[in-house]
Amino acid sequence: MFDSASISSGKTDFIAESSDDKPPQRAETVHELLARLGGDMEEIDRVKKVYPMKISSHFLALIQEKGDPIWKQAVPSAEELSDFRNVADPLSEGRDTKVPGLIHRYPDRVLLMVSSKCAMYCRFCTRKRSVGRVEQTPMQQIFQGIDYIRGHPEVRDVLLSGGDPLLRSNRELDIILRELRSIPHVEIIRIGSRVPSVMPERVTPRLVKVLKKYHPLYMNLHFEHPREINPDSERALKLLADAGIPLGSQTVLLRGINDDPEVMKELMQKLVKNRVRPYYIYLCDLVKGVEHFRTTLQAGFDVICHLQGHTSGLCVPHLIIDSPGGGKIPILPPDYLLATDEEKAVISNYKGEVYEYPNPRI
Going from the first residue of the chain to its last (362 residues), give the mean pLDDT of each consecutive group of 10, the final group possibly shorter: 37 31 61 92 95 94 96 97 87 86 94 95 90 85 98 98 96 98 98 98 98 98 98 98 98 98 98 98 93 95 94 96 82 86 89 89 78
Number of CB atoms found within 10 A of residue 164's CB: 25
Predicted local distance difference test score (pLDDT) of residue 18? 28
pLDDT on residue 91: 82
Residue extents of the structural domains in the chain: 6-80, 97-330, 334-362
CB atoms within 10 A of CB 195: 27
97-330 under CATH 3.30.1330.10, yes or no: no
Residue 284 labeled ligand binder: no
Taking CA atoms, 312 is separated from 188, 277, 307, 308, in Å, by 28, 11, 8, 8
Three-class DSSP category at 220: strand
pLDDT at res. 2: 33
In terms of Cα–Cα distance, which of 226, 243, 9 is closest to 132?
A: 9
Of 287, 297, 232, the C-alpha closest to 121 is 287
**H/E element, 231:** helix 231-242
Which residues are designated catalytic? 105-106, 109, 118, 122, 125, 127, 285, 322, 328
